[in-house]
Amino acid sequence: MSHLAATVGLYPLPDWAKDDLSELKGHQKEDLLSGTEGAAVAKTYDRARAEVIERQVDAGLDRIVEGQLRWDDMLGHPFAVHDAVETGGIVRYYDNNNFHRELAVTGELTFDGTLAEELDAVTSRADGTPIQAVLPGPYSLIDLAVDEYYGDDREFLAGTAEFLAAEGGAFPEVETVFVLEPSLAVNPPTGEESTVDVDDVIDALSKVAEAFEAEVVVHTYWDALSEDVYTAALDAAVDGLGFDLVNAEPEVQSIISEHGTPDTVALGVADGQNTRVESLREIDDRVSRFEEVASPETIYLTPNTELFYLPVTSAEAKLDVLGRAASVSEVTV
Amino acid sequence: MSDRDRFRPAEHPNDHFLLTTVVGSYPKPAWLENEYDRVVDADEDVERPAEATDDASDGFTEALDDAARLITREHERAGLDVVVDGEVRRTEMVEYFADRIDGYEFNGPVKVWGHNYFHKPSVTDRVSYDDSWLREEFEFTSFVASGAVKVPITGPYTLANWAFDEHYGDSEELAYDLADLVNEEIHALVEAGARYVQIDEPALATTPDDHAIVGACLDRIAADIPDDVRLGIHVCYGDYSRIYPEILEYPVDEVDVELANTDYNQLDVFTEPEFTKDFALGVVDAHDTTVESVEEIKRNIERGLEVVPPERLTVSPDCGLKLLPREVAYRKMENLVQAAREVEAELDAGEVRATKIATARSD
């Protein structure tokens, strides 16, 4: 089996860019990105993006991400910059000490193109390393937003999936797409609070995945998927599933020993929310325990979560250890 | 329950008294920010602004005193009944304390939201009391202020959870160790004369299932604190239905919440079961530069009267005002006070327009 080092994107901005963008953009709700920005802001992001890409190459990652540095509202970004979405007060981003703007969808989610533009800026800089796109999953995106247009959660989910598929259709050539779906683990669809059930989510994920020729991995974190969601996800038209082995290793072990895995998996083996840097041995042990109960063909070694929670130095140290872990295990396998 | 009437200023114009205050932080004067930048830029060994104050020169200490004097007076000029110094000596609500507690280290700033960051510390050893936290700040502010002073202090649960835990592996144990340190600090503050202490626990909103841990922390904090010390808790930006009514069990006199940000859509949470503490209500948005009119704030205050009767309603902004332009922060405070005084006068005259006014409990 092959081990590849990758990340789930959403990097911390370099510290100089934090300072520069704070000054250029401001600190309040109305100062965050709305979809267009001036030349000075765009230039700052471009410089930061180049730095983040170079650092991934240096760390020896097998996939390079854009870094999602413009994503002021984290996974809510594709909505936050969309013309049919109104941003409001700040609300918690999952159960973290982070916030995003309230996202109210007030019109049809038509093609926007902003994500493709971000990716265009990566292809010339990745030094031959394959590119990985990062997308919020349709279910997480509707979980982070409020619908004031579609009138029904199933319609809202389907509309969001179509929107993401259209965005993905405009992407430049990428090797891998990570679709981030933390809500699927921490706020699973039950068909009770909302009309959305598991099958609707699987349809939505399949719809998004079918927009790509690239390999698509749906990554979930903060918890393991429940049994019914996991078994349904195995039937989705995606290539791989991701697991959080930092927060939910026993639960993951239990479910994969019962139901197996797809041929491709992403293993969240480095804690994206703690500065303590894992040793190679710790990462290797986590992977080994996983491989004792499952035999996927391709394993992406990743942080369990986005990395923006960490100071830059810690995030970079995690990249380095993931890069080393993948190359060491390649040698020993 | 401590007597809140002792915070009523002698010249208070109305029979009713809606205690007006702020949550704590306030924009620092631009010249103080510039002084921080100057020290950080001039010394390559200083990476965090907080380090500029660690071994502050006499000139920097004087600048901090001047800023504290200025902002305390600015709060008084706005007419607030209970003031603070705007936390101008504190760089950030976790960093400031972590800097004074043995066991923490710093690795760089991290994002909170948008372009707002803080130096989130890492706990790398068992925490223990080191430098004094707030006693000098309180003594200076109360010397400068002509009226009552509140001391906001970051709570142990937030100090534990808004840090990277590299040592304990169990944030509950870390929180309890920190709660003992907060208790020690409050004893020092009480000895210095403090009688109104607000425990800031915004982290509770991020992990509401931990409300029992926060309660156990507060039990440790409140242990042996004299009854005449008013203890409050501030919790903001979360789903309050997940911590209510459990927070009514906490050993505090007052619960301070943010509700203006989302236009009071969570107000009903606090009406069933009956709210039994003093209710400190956010009536201006701390993250919107639009200054609410007096009329709008009056309507917001009246929403608070749906939860508690006037004698248990405290009026404050949603959260610390430090991210606003200073002029905007000042005008919000000024309008907040004027609105409170007008609502009091209307209550006196029996003319308040609130759709419903809560009544005092029979006991």
What is the C-alpha separation between A8 and A134, in angstroms, rounded?
Answer: 7
pLDDT digits (tens, 9 = 90+) for A274-310: 999 999 999 999 999 999 999 999 999 999 999 999 9
**Per-residue pLDDT for chain B (363 aa), expressed as one digit of tens each?**
447 899 999 999 999 999 999 999 999 999 999 988 888 878 777 778 788 777 677 788 999 999 999 999 999 999 999 999 999 999 899 999 999 999 999 999 999 999 989 999 999 999 999 888 999 999 999 999 999 999 999 999 999 999 999 999 989 999 999 999 999 999 999 999 999 999 999 999 888 899 999 999 999 999 999 999 999 999 998 889 999 999 999 999 999 999 999 999 999 999 999 999 999 999 999 999 999 999 999 999 999 999 999 999 999 999 999 989 999 999 999 999 999 999 999 999 999 877 777 875 544
Identify which has the larger pLDDT, A108 or A31.
A108
What is the C-alpha separation between B40 and B109, in angstroms, rounded?
Answer: 15
Highest averaged pLDDT of the listed ranges A4-13, A18-27, B53-62, B353-362: A4-13
What is the C-alpha separation between B8 and B27, in angstroms, rounded?
Answer: 26
Q: In the predicted model, is pLDDT for residue A146 greater than 60?
A: yes
Q: What is the pLDDT of residue B1?
A: 41
The model's pTM is 0.87
Interface test mutation site (partner B, options A27, A45, A77, max chain B beta carbons within 10 A): A27
What is the C-alpha separation between A73 and A308, in angstroms, rounded?
Answer: 12
Q: Are B280 and B256 in contact (CB under 8 A)?
A: yes
Identify which has the larger pLDDT, B214 or A127.
B214
Residues from chain A that touch B122, judged by Cβ atoms under 8 A, are 275-276
Q: In the predicted model, is pLDDT for residue A52 greater than 50?
A: yes
B203–A97: do the CB atoms touch at under 8 Å?
yes
What is the C-alpha separation between A98 and B119, in angstroms, rounded?
Answer: 14
What is the C-alpha separation between A103 and A85, in angstroms, rounded?
Answer: 6
In chain A, residues 313-332 whose CB comes closer than 8 Å to chain B: 313-314
Q: Are A103 and A85 in contact (CB under 8 A)?
A: yes
**ipTM of the prediction:** 0.93
Measured over all CA atoms, what is the biggest interatomic distance in chain A, rounded to whole angstroms?
Answer: 54
What is the C-alpha separation between B20 and A268, in angstroms, rounded?
Answer: 48
Q: What is the pLDDT of residue A332?
A: 53
Give the relative orientation of helices B326-348 and B294-305 as an angle to the nearest 10 degrees.
Answer: 60
Chain A residue with minimal CA distance to B167?
A: A276
The shortest CB-CB distance from A92 to any of B122, B205, B324 is to: B205
- Alpha-carbon A316 to chain mean position: 17
Q: Are A93 and A21 in contact (CB under 8 A)?
A: no
Nearest to A238 by CA among A223, A220, A250: A220
For residue B44, CA distances in Å to A151, A316, B39, B41 come to 57, 22, 9, 7
The shortest CB-CB distance from B323 to any of A27, A98, A102 is to: A27
What is the C-alpha separation between B280 and B304, in angstroms, rounded?
Answer: 8
What is the C-alpha separation between A79 and B111, in angstroms, rounded?
Answer: 20
What is the C-alpha separation between B180 and B189, in angstroms, rounded?
Answer: 14
Chain A residue with minimal CA distance to B118?
A: A311
Q: Are A135 and A181 in contact (CB under 8 A)?
A: no
What is the C-alpha separation between A53 and A118, in angstroms, rounded?
Answer: 12
Residues from chain A that touch B168, judged by Cβ atoms under 8 A, are none
Residues B187, B189, B194: CA angle, nearest 5 degrees: 115
Interface test mutation site (partner B, options A41, A90, A271, A307, max chain B beta carbons within 10 A): A90
B262–A89: do the CB atoms touch at under 8 Å?
yes
Nearest to B2 by CA among B234, B277, B273: B277
What is the C-alpha separation between A89 and B288, in angstroms, rounded?
Answer: 9
Q: In the predicted model, is pLDDT for residue A268 greater than 50?
A: yes
Q: What is the pLDDT of residue A11?
A: 97
What is the C-alpha separation between B285 and B320, in angstroms, rounded?
Answer: 10
The shortest CB-CB distance from A18 to any of B115, B165, B237 is to: B115
Q: Are B287 and A99 in contact (CB under 8 A)?
A: no
Q: Are B328 and B285 in contact (CB under 8 A)?
A: no
Residue type, A79: F
Average pLDDT, stretch A236-253? 97
B287–A89: do the CB atoms touch at under 8 Å?
yes
Residue A250 is encoded by which pair of tokens? 């026993």
For chain B, strand residue ranges (E) read 19-20, 82-83, 101-113, 116-129, 148-149, 151-154, 164-165, 196-200, 230-235, 254-257, 278-282, 313-316
Given pLDDT bands bounded at 50, 70 and 90, which one contains residue A23?
A: confident
Q: What is the pLDDT of residue B109?
A: 94
Q: What is the pLDDT of residue B363?
A: 41
Q: What is the pLDDT of residue B2?
A: 47
Given pLDDT bands bounded at 50, 70 and 90, which one contains residue A170?
A: very high
B110–A308: do the CB atoms touch at under 8 Å?
yes
User: A94 to chain B nearest CA, in Å?
Assistant: 8
Question: What is the 3 state secondary structure string of chain A?
Answer: CEEEECCCCCCCCCHHHHHHHHHHHCCCHHHCCCCCCCHHHHHHHHHHHHHHHHHHHHHCCCCECCCCCCCCCHHHHHHHCCCCEEEEEEEECCCCCCEEEEEEECCCCCCCCHHHHHHHHHHCCCCCCCEEEEEECHHHHHHCCEECCCCCHHHHHHHHHHHHHHHHHCCCCCCEEEEECHHHHHCCCCCCCCCCCHHHHHHHHHHHHCCCCCEEEEECCCCCCCHHHHHHHCCCCCCEEEEECCCCHHHHHHHHHHHCCCCEEEEEEECCCCCCCCCHHHHHHHHHHHHHHCCCCEEEEEECCCCCCCCHHHHHHHHHHHHHHHHHHHHHC
